[in-house]
Structures are given as C-alpha cells and as structure tokens.
C-alpha cells in the first residue's frame, strides 16, 4: 500500500490529506508552522463531516481521519513515503530549498509532486540531485472537491515518474491530465486567464454589469461545461459535427478575436476598486467565510449529482 506525505498544511495541503486518506491510504501531514497543522486538523474534521452529509464518503469520517497523522518534522513525514505532495507557500526560493532537503531525507524511489500554481518543475527542481523524480501535480482548490490535477514534468523528469503519478492520482480518485511541454500557467489557468481578461474588458468597457457577466457563466456556458468540455461541446453545436462547426463559426470567432475591442490591455485604474465596491455591497467581508462554506456545499451537491448521473446516464 503506498504511503503518502502531504507537506504544507494550508488550504491545499490539508485538502490533499483528505484525498489520500479517504481513498484508504495512510498520510502524514507536516507544516513548518505547528499551529497550521492544528488548524488544519480542525478544518479536516469539518470537511469530513460535510462530505459525509452529502454522501460523498463511503467510510465513517472517523475512520478516514484516523489515517491522517500529524508529524512534527519533515524527516518524520518523509520516512517510508512513496508519494510526496508538496503544498508549501508559493515562493521559488522556499521550494528550491525544500526540494533539496526532501531529496536528502526521502527514499530514493519516492515521487515529489508539487501543488505549485505557477512555478515550473524545471525551476524548483533544477539543482536537486534527484530531479528526475520531481514534477508538478497542480490541483484546483479544493482538491477534495475538484478532481482535475495537471501533471507537468520537466524535460528531465523520468517517464515512469509521470506515469506512476498519473496512476496514483487515478487511484486516489482524482482526474489527472498531462501537460506535455512546460508552459506558464499549465492548462487550466491559461484558460481561466483568457476568460477573465475578457470578463474584465467587457465590464470595464461598459458592455454589461458585473452581475450579468456572472450570469453568462453560471446560467450559460458553465451549465454545459460542468459535464462536457469545449471540444465535446462544439462537436454537438453544428448538425455535421466539428467540421461543420468550423465552417459555420470559426471565421467569425477569429474576426472577433482580431478586432480592436479584443486587443489585450490592462483594466482601467479604478476598475478593481469599482468591482470591490459592488462585491462588498452584496457580500460584506465579514460574511466571506460563510460564503466559502456555502460554495463548498454547492460543490459537494454538484459532485454528488455528477456521480449519480454518470452512473445513470454514462
Ligand atoms: N490556494 C489555491 O487556490 C491554490 C490552488 C492550487 C495550487 N495552489 C498551490 O498550493 C501551494 C500551497 O498553497 P496554499 O493556498 O495551501 O497556501 P497556504 O498559505 O494556505 O499554505 C502554505 C503552508 O505552507 C507552509 N510552509 C511554508 N514553508 C514550508 C516548508 N518549508 N515546509 C513545510 N511547510 C511550509 C506554511 O506554513 C503554510 O501553512 C502553493 O504552491 C500554491 O500555489 C494553491
């Protein structure tokens, strides 16, 4: 049975501990800051109770929780670990140092996967003697509710490390995708960046309100996108499939893309102050934690629904 270590017990590291433990595997949880581990354990208990409430875990929460062991040193966390998921703070110098240390302490066969959002494997592992075992396994927050994981190796990452990571992620219930060549932002954040740049522009240039922009996603594109990707979508959006779609729509889309309104530019100076004013009117900062809990409940209900539908409709 593979042994897991989750390094860093913040937002992401604690969620990874849930992912590994709920799949039946023991996981050691470590953070440089002991208070972060204490906080994480409380939040893990809460998340497990919520998952149980939505029927998203098959075993009693206490059984899953018992597989998560908080440890006080990096050496203890790595002892016997086969797969190490690193979710320490997003700083290149910190990660470079941490990987050197992990390489000294862990078994030679152990895989080192980083949750980093933006730092390529070739940067944080460059000087690590065992850099062939390093790669990115980038989750989406929170990974215990959103299954996609972007696996992004460096040119020197061993092919079998990529494949073993893919298999391990499948084993723990995640959905891995492989980024074949290193690129800033991997896949998901590149898609998100393009969409957000357009969302900023459309509101900043006065084409619509913030609320209406959000409606276009949550009551429009997002409905389909929650169970089929854009390529699957376009294949069904023209009677003759994707070739027909290309003939009907792609030139117009390319024209829109090349038009003056689409030229890349930064939002106006007061744009985010204005967005903040409107957002704080509907969601005071004091209620943000509650709203995050609400979001996670909605995600859990959606996941439960997706699972039931996948079973019923394929
Ligand atoms: N927050 C997100 O939405 C998100 C999503 C995907 C990936 N990530 C990535 O996951 C990683 C963690 O992000 P987060 O949001 O959980 O941050 P966070 O600030 O909530 O947690 C980071 C934790 O790392 C600990 N830490 C710092 N240095 C350490 C070390 N040397 N050894 C052990 N622990 C150490 C800190 O004490 C802190 O508790 C980052 O690389 C981030 O880019 C974040």
For 74-133, how does the pLDDT look when each residue is reduced to its tens digit (9 = 90+)?
999 999 999 999 999 999 999 999 999 999 999 999 999 999 999 999 999 999 999 999
Tell me, in angstroms, the distance from the centre of ligand 1 to residue 14's CA: 10
What pLDDT shows up at residue 18?
98
Q: What is the mean pLDDT of the chain?
A: 96
Mutate to test the pocket of ligand 1, among 19, 32, 88, 295 (most ligand atoms within 8 A of CB): 88
Average pLDDT over residues 206-210: 97
- C-alpha distance across the termini of the chain, in Å: 31
Cα 201 to Cα 257: distance, rounded to the nearest angstrom = 13
Q: What are residue 5's DSSP bridge partners?
A: 28, 84
Q: Which atom of ligand 1 is the closest one to the Cα of 11?
A: 16
Q: Is the pLDDT of residue 30 over 90?
A: yes
Tell me, in angstroms, the distance from the centre of ligand 1 to residue 17's CA: 13
The model's pTM:
0.94
Tell me, in angstroms, the distance from the centre of ligand 1 to residue 53's CA: 27
Q: For residue 10, what are the contacts with CB-CB under 8 A and spacing of at least 6?
A: 31, 36, 40, 87, 89
Q: Which atom of ligand 1 is the closest one to the Cα of 118?
A: 43
Tell me what percent of the residues of the chain surpass a pLDDT of 70: 100
Q: Which atom of ligand 1 is the closest one to the Cα of 114?
A: 41
With a 6 A CB cut-off, is 86 part of the ligand 1 pocket? no
Tell me, in angstroms, the distance from the centre of ligand 1 to residue 106's CA: 20
What pLDDT shows up at residue 79?
97
With a 6 A CB cut-off, is 154 part of the ligand 1 pocket? no
Q: Which atom of ligand 1 is the closest one to the Cα of 86?
A: 11
Helix (H, G, I), strand (E, B) or coil at 97: helix
Tell me, in angstroms, the distance from the centre of ligand 1 to residue 125's CA: 17
Q: Measuring CA to CA, how many Å separate 81 from each of 2, 78, 144, 255, 304?
A: 7, 5, 20, 53, 31
Mutate to test the pocket of ligand 1, among 29, 89, 106 (most ligand atoms within 8 A of CB): 89
Q: Is the pLDDT of residue 54 over 90?
A: no
Cα 279 to Cα 93: distance, rounded to the nearest angstrom = 35
């Amino acid at each position: 049975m593979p042994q897991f270590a989750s390094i860093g017990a913040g937002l992401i590291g604690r969620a990874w501990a849930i992912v590994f433990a709920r799949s039946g595997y023991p996981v050691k949880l470590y953070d440089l800051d002991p208070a972060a581990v204490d906080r994480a354990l409380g939040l893990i208990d809460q998340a497990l109770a919520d998952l149980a409430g939505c029927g998203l875990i098959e075993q009693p929460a206490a059984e899953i929780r018992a597989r998560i062991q908080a440890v006080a040193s990096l050496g203890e966390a790595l002892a016997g670990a086969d797969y190490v998921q690193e979710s320490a703070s997003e700083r290149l110098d910190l990660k470079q140092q941490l990987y050197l240390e992990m390489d000294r302490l862990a078994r030679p066969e152990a895989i080192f996967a980083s949750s980093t959002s933006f730092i390529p494997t070739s940067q944080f592992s460059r000087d690590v003697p065992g850099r062939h075992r390093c790669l990115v396994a980038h989750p989406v927050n929170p990974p215990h509710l959103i299954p996609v994981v972007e696996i992004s190796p460096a040119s020197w990452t061993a092919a079998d490390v990529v494949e073993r990571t893919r298999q391990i992620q499948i084993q723990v219930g995640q959905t891995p995708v492989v980024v074949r060549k290193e690129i800033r932002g991997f896949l998901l954040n590149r898609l998100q960046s393009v969409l957000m740049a357009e969302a900023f522009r459309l509101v900043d240039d006065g084409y619509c309100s913030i609320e209406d922009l959000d409606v276009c996603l949550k009551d429009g594109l997002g409905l389909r996108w929650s169970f089929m990707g854009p390529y699957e979508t376009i294949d069904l959006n023209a009677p003759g499939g994707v070739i027909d779609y290309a003939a009907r729509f792609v030139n117009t889309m390319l024209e829109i893309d090349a038009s003056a309104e689409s030229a890349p530019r930064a939002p106006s100076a007061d744009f985010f102050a204005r967005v903040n004013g409107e957002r704080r009117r509907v969601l005071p900062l004091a209620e943000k934690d509650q709203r995050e809990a609400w979001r996670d409940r909605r995600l859990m209900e959606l996941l439960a629904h997706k699972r039931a539908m996948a079973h019923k409709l394929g």
